[in-house]
Amino acid sequence: MTSPRRRFLVQSSSLVLLLTTPLLARGATLMSIRVWPAPEYTRLTLESDGPLSATHQVLSDPPRLVVDIQGLQLDNQLRELAGKVKSDDPFIKDVRVGQYKPDVVRLVIDLKQAVKPQVFSLLPVAAYQNRLVFDLYPAHSGDRLMAFMQQQEALERDRLTGAAAPPQTVAQAQTGQQDSLGDWIRKHRSELDDSQTAPQSPQVLADNTPAPRADPVRRDRRNFHSVLLAIDPGHGGEDPGATGPSGVHEKDVVLLIAHHLRDLAMNTPNMRVMMTRDSDYFVPLWTRVEKAQSANADLFTSIHADGWFTPEARGASVYCLSDGGASSVEARLMAQRENAADAIGGIDINSRSYQVAKVLLDMSTTAKINASLKMARPTLSKMGELVHLHSRQVQQAGFAVLKSPTIPSMLVETAFISNPEEEARLQTPAYRKQIARAIFEGLRAYLDTNPPLARRRVLT
Ligand SMILES: [Zn+2]
């Protein structure tokens, strides 16, 4: 949609072009423009054959982000940028573009709400050339986290007072990107220290047995501790994950498997779910961990379907974090491939949240890894009953997404998307449901004998 103001901007800047000398050094050529809307932030990516530099300013009344990109000429891709913005984008209302100066393109991004932008450049990596990235986060992101926590509190209050349980919902933690991780570490540092020795809940509430009705006076809230399962569909947005021989992206099939797993869990009494992403957008690895921590999840399962160097590799595997070397060369390589997600998806390594995350991700302990193995082994065993296994042992390596300091975490490689047969199978709903069922049965088997630690302090 072309607004009158935008037309004016384009027309007036064309006039500027006519009046200026054409003797300009050639800047970078734009290869692609992508817009990735998501509930927590919208990303705008400009991919070019050379580095672009940009300055930006945030303006209010009405809220808008003005970006000046040096060394770029207005072209059709830029003119059509506004058409790439969906009407339901949570942050962007419209985009106007114009040749502001002979070698400067100006983008005016009209906003639906005030934003706190992160603007950064990425060097060529994987299939991408140079990228200039604008991540538009809400200016008041703390409000979203607070809303989520209040929702969880209300849920727990209902349980404790014996009120009819509200319908279980996908609880998607909306966390701030700048400060919440640091805040979380500060608030929970003492919890990190003692959670490993916290008493376990005496009740197993993950099966179909309803929660016992204790005397309200003597009711121990740990008895009513439902299980919050964090489901982490790998990759997303700019990061497609592995791609099969016929072009199927890992990020798409794992999201569908995750939805099946979510549905199974949501239909199980005393089990709740939070998703680290619920649509096609990029979530940094540490943000996935942070979301699960902020929601006080009890278990964390990351779902993948990666590729291998040869098409013969097949079957499912389960991985945990290692506190030393990897358990095999294959596990080490798999962790390297998974950890490349941040570089491919694109993160601002100078951001404060990234710097704080590095602290968080070094806090994993042997006790936590042992708890993770306790979850991974029955999961692998149950999966072996329903799908072909690649490895009959739980593998270990340095997966960044498994570095939650307190939550037992595992990563399931559901199949090799690089194997033509498995790629085809991953495209069928029946197989995706079978995989989800296998993971779910594994988690239930684990929970039957290992109730989660009673440590939902956020809700007290
Ligand atoms: Zn993956």
Question: Which structure tokens are listed for 93?
Answer: 């209302």
pLDDT, position 85: 94
3-class state of residue 127 by DSSP:
coil
- Domain that residue 94 falls in: 4-139
pLDDT, position 136: 95
pLDDT, position 210: 36
> What's the pLDDT band for 351 if we cut at 50, 70, 90?
confident
Query: 102, exposed or middle or buried, with CB in 10 Å at 0-12, 13-18, 19+?
Result: middle
266-319 residue pLDDT tens:
999 989 999 999 999 999 998 999 899 889 999 999 999 999 888 999 999 999
* CA–centroid distance, residue 333 to ligand 1 (Å): 12
**CA angle at 349 for the pair 77 and 179, rounded to the nearest 5°:** 105
Judgement on whether residues 99 and 238 belong to the same structural domain of the protein: no
Judgement on whether residues 213 and 116 belong to the same structural domain of the protein: no
> What's the pLDDT band for 405 if we cut at 50, 70, 90?
confident
Domain limit, last residue, from 84, 116, 139: 139
Among 418, 403, 407, 410, residue whose Cα is nearest residue 318:
410
* CA–centroid distance, residue 289 to ligand 1 (Å): 15
CA separation, residue 64 to residues 59, 92, 155 (Å): 5, 9, 37
Among 221, 196, 223, residue whose Cα is nearest residue 212:
223
* CA–centroid distance, residue 398 to ligand 1 (Å): 14
Region 418-436: mean pLDDT is: 96
pLDDT, position 348: 84
> What's the pLDDT band for 378 if we cut at 50, 70, 90?
very high
> Residues within 5 Å of ion ligand 1 by Cβ?
234, 241, 304, 306
Judgement on whether residues 151 and 116 belong to the same structural domain of the protein: no
Region 380-388: mean pLDDT is: 93
Judgement on whether residues 128 and 152 belong to the same structural domain of the protein: no
195-239 residue pLDDT tens:
333 333 222 222 233 333 333 333 334 444 689 999 999 999 999
Judgement on whether residues 200 and 248 belong to the same structural domain of the protein: yes
CATH number for 374: 3.40.630.40
pLDDT, position 162: 54
Distance from C-alpha of 255 to C-alpha of 280, rounded to nearest angstrom:
8
Among 267, 237, 269, 273, residue whose Cα is nearest residue 252:
237
Can you name the residues that pair with 46 across neighbouring β-strands? 33, 132
pLDDT, position 173: 36
* CA–centroid distance, residue 238 to ligand 1 (Å): 13
Judgement on whether residues 268 and 200 belong to the same structural domain of the protein: yes
Helix (H) or strand (E) holding 232: strand 227-233
* CA–centroid distance, residue 294 to ligand 1 (Å): 23
User: Does the pLDDT value for residue 77 go beyond 60?
Assistant: yes
* CA–centroid distance, residue 213 to ligand 1 (Å): 43
% of the chain surpassing 90 pLDDT: 58
Judgement on whether residues 152 and 278 belong to the same structural domain of the protein: yes
320-342 residue pLDDT tens:
999 888 999 999 999 999 999 99
* CA–centroid distance, residue 399 to ligand 1 (Å): 11
pLDDT, position 367: 85
List b or e across 186-198, with b for residues whose CB sees 16 or more CB atoms inside 10 angstroms. Answer: eebeebbeebeee
pLDDT, position 200: 31
131-146 residue pLDDT tens:
999 999 998 765 444 4
Judgement on whether residues 77 and 106 belong to the same structural domain of the protein: yes
Domain limit, last residue, from 139, 154, 181: 139
* CA–centroid distance, residue 334 to ligand 1 (Å): 8
% of the chain surpassing 70 pLDDT: 73
Among 152, 143, 187, residue whose Cα is nearest residue 171:
152
More reliable by pLDDT, 178 or 163:
163
pLDDT, position 109: 96
Cβ–Cβ under 8 Å, residues 269 and 405: no
Pairing verdict, β 395-397 and 317-321: parallel
More reliable by pLDDT, 163 or 240:
240
CA separation, residue 138 to residues 90, 323, 373 (Å): 9, 36, 37
Distance from C-alpha of 220 to C-alpha of 154, rounded to nearest angstrom:
18
**CA angle at 238 for the pair 235 and 239, rounded to the nearest 5°:** 30
Judgement on whether residues 196 and 239 belong to the same structural domain of the protein: yes
Strands across the sheet containing 299-304: 271-275, 227-233, 299-304, 409-413, 317-321, 395-397
Can you name the residues that pair with 94 across neighbouring β-strands? 110
Q: On the CB side of 435, how many CA atoms lie within 13 Å of its CA?
A: 31
More reliable by pLDDT, 364 or 333:
333
107-162 residue pLDDT tens:
999 999 999 999 999 999 999 999 999 999 998 765 444 444 455 455 555 555 65
Judgement on whether residues 125 and 251 belong to the same structural domain of the protein: no
Judgement on whether residues 131 and 150 belong to the same structural domain of the protein: no
Q: pTM of this prediction?
A: 0.75
CATH number for 23: 2.60.40.3500
Q: How many domains does the chain have?
A: 2
Judgement on whether residues 347 and 451 belong to the same structural domain of the protein: yes
* CA–centroid distance, residue 317 to ligand 1 (Å): 12
Domain limit, last residue, from 109, 139, 169: 139
Question: At a CB cut-off of 8 Å and minimum separation 6, what does 19 contact?
Answer: none
